[in-house]
Amino acid sequence: QVHLVQSGAEVKQPGASVKISCRASGYTFTSYSLHWVRQAPGQGLEWMGIINPRDGGTTYPQKFQGRVTLTRDTSTSTFYMELSSLRSEDTAVYYCGRDRSADWGQGTLVTVSS
């Protein structure tokens, strides 16, 4: 059974960075790319990027280029999403999701507040 387990909630100050993890199990880690998506309060879903676990290759939408970094650790089957220069508008629930599948993490709430 596939599981994507995300790290816990974070509270950050404006200007700081946050790094969220997504630990995968139940499948071959390198076989599926992984997406990151977020949902701010009262807003829709927003795609933040995708990483290929075989070679670490990443693709980001223009909005997040330079501010989001996706990485992976093949030794622990864990993906990471780091978002820098946080502002209040980054307050959201962040989800990881396996490409071409219905498997998602449980979500991580990031609150940006002074």
Partner 1 sequence: EIVLTQSPATLSLSPGERATLSCRASQSVTIYLAWYQKKPGQAPRLLIYDASKRATGIPARFSGSGSGTNFTLTISSLEPEDFAVYYCQQRTNLYTFGQGTKVEI
Q: For binding to partner 1 (CB under 8 A), which residues are involved?
A: 35, 37, 39, 44-47, 50, 59, 61-62, 95, 97, 100-102, 104-107
Whether 81 contacts 56, CB under 8 Å: no
**Smallest gap from residue 46 Cβ to partner 1 (A):** 7
**Smallest gap from residue 14 Cβ to partner 1 (A):** 26
Whether 7 contacts 108, CB under 8 Å: yes
Give 25 or 74: the residue with its C-beta nearer to partner 1.
25
Give 39 or 77: the residue with its C-beta nearer to partner 1.
39
Pair type for strands 10-12 and 108-112:
parallel
Q: Which residues contact 47 (CB under 8 A, 6 or more apart)?
A: 35, 36, 37, 61
Give 14 or 61: the residue with its C-beta nearer to partner 1.
61
**Smallest gap from residue 61 Cβ to partner 1 (A):** 6
